[in-house]
Amino acid sequence: MEENKRELTEGGEKEASLSKNFIEREIDRDLAEGVYDHVQTRFPPEPNGYLHIGHAKSILLNYGLAKEYGGKFNLRFDDTNPTKEKTEFVESIIEDVKWLGADFEDRLYFASDYFQIMYDCAVRLIKKGKAFVCDLTADEIREYRGDFNHPGKESPYRNRSVEENLKLFEEMKNGVYKDGEKVLRARIDMAAPNINMRDPVLYRVAHMHHHNTGDKWCIYPMYDFAHPIEDAVEHITHSICTLEFEDHRPLYEWVVRECEFENPPRQIEFAKMYLTNVITGKRYIKKLVEDGIVDGWDDPRLVTIAALRRRGYTPESIRKFVELAGVSKADNSIDSAMLEYCLREDLKLKRARVMAILDPVKLIIDNYPEGQMEELDAPNNMENEELGSRKLPFGRELYIEREDFMEEPPKKYFRLFPGNEVRLMNAYFVTCTGCEKDENGRVTAVHCTYDPETKSGSGFNARKVKGTIHWVAAATALKAECRLYENLVDEEKGKLNADGTLNLNPNSLTVLRDCYLEPGLKEAKPFESFQFVRNGYFCVDCRDSEPGHPVFNRIVSLKSSFRLPK
């Protein structure tokens, strides 16, 4: 235990203690007092949907604690509710956890692996007089429970004999009863101030096919009964949960105590991570998917981990975001712009900066030789020379952004307009001479002349220009589809309408099908990302890109007003 700690001076120990979060301080105390001689944590998702950014915090917190203390980290599915669970969700969660870098090694478990142990624990409770079979309906149980101002009243079936309870419980297991006809309840205290302790349900009848155990069981444990048993069986030391389980902790402790587990786990709660202007609720996401508003659980407008991965987020950026968000005991909301900030910080020195024209208009250099093409040198990232350089084809006809030309520009517009000279990035100076228009007055081509003495890298400095624009050679350009994403929620009106429905942004997706990119991007692979000069960071879509028809998702724009607090 002590070997895992750094040697510190007295002052250093104090500083380290102050810098630790409250969970680390609790673990330190448990280890120092000999409560545990190791640390083992787990991430216990229910396979009833895809994980989202909030789950990333729990995954990385649990994994990080295990790693910090030289312990082990388990991935375990709490698959006790077959009505909502799918193998698809199991597979996506495994992929998400691995992608985030939380290494569970060979410790992949399912609550359903322990169904026999849970059944045996229930039998033990019955024999101890701590559990009974109840015939009340769900509504009646709720009515009998009372509320915060009134104690509950005991079920008329509470005092059945041990023998009768054992017989009835076995019959429940053997399929004798219909769904909802009987339940197994803990026998605790109907007057307990904590309503969770008022004889909670431990098992219910559910004739459902289970994705892992098939039709072996027709009774399933409730989460509050199953979860502490799973933790105890796996020798988890610290069960790190979100705050909504704080009121359930007495029941957690009651289960592991009455089931007589040695050296039982300890539950510690922390605050969930809430982000502004994003949708994380599974029922909302499920409805968006089912209604076809998004194209699946991994739609890049969502903040499921699969969606963030598809959009182009990196595990490093999410880990940094979770680190900056910190661990607290009080609920708080985090500006979703901080997640984008972490991504920009991660990508800016790692990705090549390439030229892509999203809203093209042709630029014709009238005095450049027809049919001639040359290759120009361009650095891949001017802030990181280690990324090297590339060759860019250049010719008489180019594509530029439509917004880079105006016939009658406002003041301080330094791009192309008749008579103005600009620099073509990594190429030459060009001077605008005019434009062509269609019958509707829309510009179809811009004309200019170039100065061959001004080639980039030639050392030319006889005159200065204020504007630099990017371009792509028309003859070799790669045509592609680019998708621009905005927040799925209408930020000005808020997340929810008065009737509880989602207030969605009708402009959350813009699809541009006639974009022109550097030809070198033809070989880009799914998930590969780049900085498109002036347009943002883009990623090759993993689902819809095809040979000859690449699709790029805008991960994030280049600029943000977000700043880390000092």
Residues 252 and 265: their CA atoms lie apart, in Å, by 9
- For residue 13, pLDDT over 50 is answered with no
Residues 404 and 406: their CA atoms lie apart, in Å, by 7
pLDDT in the model for residue 281: 84
What φ, ψ does residue 131 adopt, rounded to 5°?
A: -150, 150
Pairing of strands 201-205, 72-77: unpaired
Distance of CA 201 to the CA centre of its chain: 33
- For residue 77, pLDDT over 80 is answered with yes
pLDDT, average across residues 199-203: 98
pLDDT in the model for residue 561: 59
pLDDT, average across residues 40-47: 96
- For residue 498, pLDDT over 90 is answered with no
- For residue 1, pLDDT over 60 is answered with no
Unique residue bearing structure tokens 């969700």: 89
For 387, the token pair is 């990324």
Residues 146 and 196: their CA atoms lie apart, in Å, by 11
Residue, of 12 and 129, whose pLDDT is higher: 129
Pairing of strands 429-437, 421-424: antiparallel
pLDDT in the model for residue 460: 81
Measured over all CA atoms, what is the biggest interatomic distance in the chain, rounded to whole angstroms? 102
563 conformational bin, left if phi > 0, alpha if psi -120 to 50, beta if neither: beta
pLDDT in the model for residue 20: 87
For the chain, report the end-to-end CA distance as a whole number of angstroms: 36
Question: For the whole model, what pTM was predicted?
Answer: 0.89
Neighbours of 215 (CB within 10 A): 10
pLDDT in the model for residue 552: 97
pLDDT above 90: percentage of residues in the chain: 83
pLDDT in the model for residue 280: 86
Residues 436 and 501: their CA atoms lie apart, in Å, by 49
pLDDT in the model for residue 163: 98
- For residue 12, pLDDT over 90 is answered with no
pLDDT above 70: percentage of residues in the chain: 94
Residues 287 and 306: their CA atoms lie apart, in Å, by 17
Residue, of 4 and 491, whose pLDDT is higher: 491
What φ, ψ does residue 147 adopt, rounded to 5°?
A: -145, -165
- For residue 345, pLDDT over 50 is answered with yes
For 188, the token pair is 């605790």
pLDDT in the model for residue 8: 39
Residue 300's DSSP bridge partners are none
pLDDT, average across residues 11-24: 64
Q: Which domains does the chain have, with CATH numbers?
A: 38-270 (3.40.50.620), 282-351+480-556 (2.40.240.10), 356-470 (2.40.240.10)
**CB hemisphere CA count around 283 (13 angstroms):** 3
Pairing of strands 478-485, 551-556: parallel
pLDDT in the model for residue 288: 92
Residues 471 and 241: their CA atoms lie apart, in Å, by 52
User: Which whole-number Å values give the CA distances from 431 to 55, 363, 410, in the listed order?
Assistant: 54, 11, 18
Task: Give residue 158's pLDDT band: very low, low, confident or very high (50, 70, 90).
Answer: very high
Least confident of 218-232, 323-337, 425-439: 323-337
pLDDT in the model for residue 463: 85
Render pLDDT for 429-448 as a digit per residue (tens, 0 to 9).
999 999 999 999 999 999 99
- For residue 14, pLDDT over 60 is answered with no
pLDDT in the model for residue 2: 40
Least confident of 78-87, 190-199, 471-480: 78-87
Render pLDDT for 375-402 as a digit per residue (tens, 0 to 9).
999 999 999 999 999 999 999 999 999 9
pLDDT in the model for residue 509: 95
Render pLDDT for 525-563 as a digit per residue (tens, 0 to 9).
999 999 999 999 999 999 999 887 899 999 999 976 556
pLDDT, average across residues 199-226: 95
pLDDT in the model for residue 494: 67
- For residue 16, pLDDT over 60 is answered with no
pLDDT, average across residues 137-161: 96
pLDDT in the model for residue 484: 97
How high does pLDDT run on average in the chain? 92
